[in-house]
């Protein structure tokens, strides 16, 4: 079927609720409204108020009760309404969701859904990319799809996973339409080649994959063959896929919206430099958000990685030495 990412996520939730009576969806405005982005649209009507319910407005408790529900045998799928609102729940996620099994032997099959990223012209706190905080924490798995098909497959995989997963949804790509194959299985921890190429590897995840593909297209018009890797999972990180590509291209550019300083790209750059030091023809480049709080929306285009900045980085690694 052809569907938007929003529709694919909605279908993944519906199919998970149908498949397992212990799955529960809850959060702010996920019931009658269907979520501020309508990702849970129609689910309360279909599955009832016991399985899809609104909670009081309290992010820490949303995640805290998810832990208790998981201990009682449920498979909770809490929603955090926006990236910038996840911080009250940070302690519950980092101190408990991530570490509960380590102190009890009990796994918590919780999938925390979070719309993330910018480019939607929003006010403050609605455009952030907090993924590195969570990828830094052992005990969590962290994923970010870039296409409707991956959104469906990865969400099903996350919900089925017995370990907790933080599931970042690129909100600027919710209305991107593409083919979705509900039968396709997309395992957590496996990256994919979005576009094959030979001269440069461009690595992205979530919202930046589309931007990377646009840059690759532009580069191709200039005769530069760009390979685009979509990480899909940040933790676990599929370094094999990255290394396979870099072994071929000898050049890497990493793209994410989060600030460049201590961003997820730093980990990938360090790993590539360590594992492929002798193969590299140029230092690894990072194209990322500026080291500032997410700017007012009229300035967000200057903050976000765009096609031009990616092309510039591609030129830099090709021209190096």
Partner 1 sequence: MADVVEVIRAADPVRRLFAPDGTLSNEARQSLGLDPEALRDLYRWMVVIRRADQEALNLQRQGQLGLWGQFLGQEAVHVGATIALRETDWIFPSYREFGMAMCRGVDPAAMLTLFKGLTHGAWDPQRYHFAPLAIPVATQIPHAVGFAMGCRLKKTDEAVLVTFGDGATSEGDWHEAMNFAGVFRSPVVFLCQNNYWAISVPLNKQTAGSIAERAPGYGFPGIRIDGNDILAVYGAVKVAADRARSGEGPYLIEAVTYRMGAHTSSDDPTRYRLAADVDAWSAKDPIARFKTTLTAAGVLDEAADRAVIEEAEGIAREMREKLLNAPMPPAGEAVYGGVYQSPPEPFVKEREEFEASLEQP
Which residues are known to be catalytic? 126
DSSP state of 94: I
Is 66 a binding residue for partner 1 by CB under 8 A? The answer is yes
Is 106 a binding residue for partner 1 by CB under 8 A? The answer is yes
Stretch that binds partner 1, among 103-111, 113-121, 253-261, 279-287 (CB under 8 A): 103-111
What is the distance between the alpha carbons of residues 50 and 24, in angstroms, rounded to a whole number? 8
Stretch that binds partner 1, among 60-68, 149-157, 202-210, 308-316 (CB under 8 A): 60-68
Largest distance between two CA atoms of the chain: 63
For residues 238 and 203, the answer to whether their CB atoms sit within 8 Å is no
Quick one: 28 or 306, whose CB is closer to partner 1? Answer: 28
The site string for partner 1 over 15-44 (x = CB under 8 A, - otherwise) reads ---------x--------------------
**Which residue among 218, 220, 239, 276 contacts partner 1 (CB under 8 A)?**
239
Stretch that binds partner 1, among 92-100, 123-131, 196-204, 261-269 (CB under 8 A): 92-100
Residues contacting 142, CB < 8 A, separation 6+: 131, 134, 135, 165, 166, 168, 233, 234, 235
**Which residue among 74, 82, 134, 264 contacts partner 1 (CB under 8 A)?**
74
Is 68 a binding residue for partner 1 by CB under 8 A? The answer is yes
Residues contacting 227, CB < 8 A, separation 6+: 193, 195, 196, 197, 198, 200, 201, 202, 216, 245, 248, 249
C-alpha 272: how far from chain center:
21
Is 243 a binding residue for partner 1 by CB under 8 A? The answer is no
Quick one: 84 or 139, whose CB is closer to partner 1? Answer: 139
What is the distance between the alpha carbons of residues 233 and 187, in angstroms, rounded to a whole number? 9
**Which residue among 32, 33, 58, 120 contacts partner 1 (CB under 8 A)?**
58
**Which residue among 15, 29, 60, 130 contacts partner 1 (CB under 8 A)?**
60
What is the distance between the alpha carbons of residues 143 and 269, in angstroms, rounded to a whole number? 19
Closest separation between CB of residue 180 and partner 1, Å? 25
- Rounded alpha-carbon distances, angstroms, from residue 226 to 71, 203, 278: 47, 10, 21
Quick one: 101 or 136, whose CB is closer to partner 1? Answer: 101
Question: How many chain residues touch partner 1 (CB under 8 A)?
Answer: 45
Report the C-alpha dihedral over residues 188, 103, 267, 234, rounded to 10 degrees: 20
For residues 303 and 256, the answer to whether their CB atoms sit within 8 Å is no
**Which residue among 131, 161, 257, 300 contacts partner 1 (CB under 8 A)?**
161
The site string for partner 1 over 113-152 (x = CB under 8 A, - otherwise) reads -------------------------xx-x-----------
What is the distance between the alpha carbons of residues 202 and 251, in angstroms, rounded to a whole number? 9
Residue whose tokens read 């360590």: 274
Closest separation between CB of residue 73 and partner 1, Å? 7
What is the distance between the alpha carbons of residues 99 and 264, in angstroms, rounded to a whole number? 21
For residues 131 and 90, the answer to whether their CB atoms sit within 8 Å is no
Is 49 a binding residue for partner 1 by CB under 8 A? The answer is no
Chain residues binding partner 1 by CB under 8 A are 24, 50, 55-56, 58, 60-61, 63-74, 88, 91-92, 95-96, 99-107, 138-139, 141, 161-163, 188-189, 235-237, 239
């Amino acid at each position: 079927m052809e569907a938007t990412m929003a529709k694919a996520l909605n279908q993944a939730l519906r199919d998970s609720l149908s498949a397992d009576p212990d799955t529960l969806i809850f959060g702010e405005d996920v019931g009658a409204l269907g979520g501020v982005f309508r990702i849970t649209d129609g689910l309360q009507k279909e599955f009832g108020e016991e399985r899809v319910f609104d909670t009081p407005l309290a992010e820490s408790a949303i995640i805290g009760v998810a832990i208790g529900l998981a201990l009682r045998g449920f498979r909770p799928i809490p929603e955090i309404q926006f990236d910038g609102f996840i911080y009250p729940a940070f302690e519950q996620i980092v101190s408990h969701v991530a570490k509960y099994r380590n102190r009890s032997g009990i796994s918590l099959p919780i999938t925390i859904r979070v719309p993330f990223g910018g480019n939607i012209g929003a006010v403050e706190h609605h455009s952030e990319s907090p993924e590195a905080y969570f990828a830094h924490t052992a005990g969590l798995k962290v994923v970010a799809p870039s296409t409707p098909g991956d959104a469906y497959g990865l969400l099903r995989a996350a919900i089925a996973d017995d370990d907790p997963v933080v599931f970042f949804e690129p909100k600027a790509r919710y209305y991107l339409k593409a083919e979705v194959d509900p039968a396709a299985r997309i395992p957590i921890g496996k990256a994919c080649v979005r576009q094959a190429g030979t001269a440069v590897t461009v690595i992205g995840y979530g919202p930046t994959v589309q931007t990377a593909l646009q840059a690759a297209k532009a580069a191709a018009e200039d005769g530069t063959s760009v390979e685009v890797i979509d990480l899909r999972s940040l933790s676990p990180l599929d370094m094999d896929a990255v290394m396979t590509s870099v072994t071929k291209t000898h050049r890497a550019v990493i793209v994410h919206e989060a600030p460049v300083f201590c961003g997820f790209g730093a980990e990938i750059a360090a790993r590539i430099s360590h594992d492929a030091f002798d193969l590299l023809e140029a230092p690894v480049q990072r194209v990322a958000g500026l080291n500032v709080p997410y700017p007012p929306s009229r300035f967000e285009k200057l903050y976000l990685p765009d096609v031009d900045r990616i092309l510039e980085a591609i030129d830099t690694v090709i021209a190096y030495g």
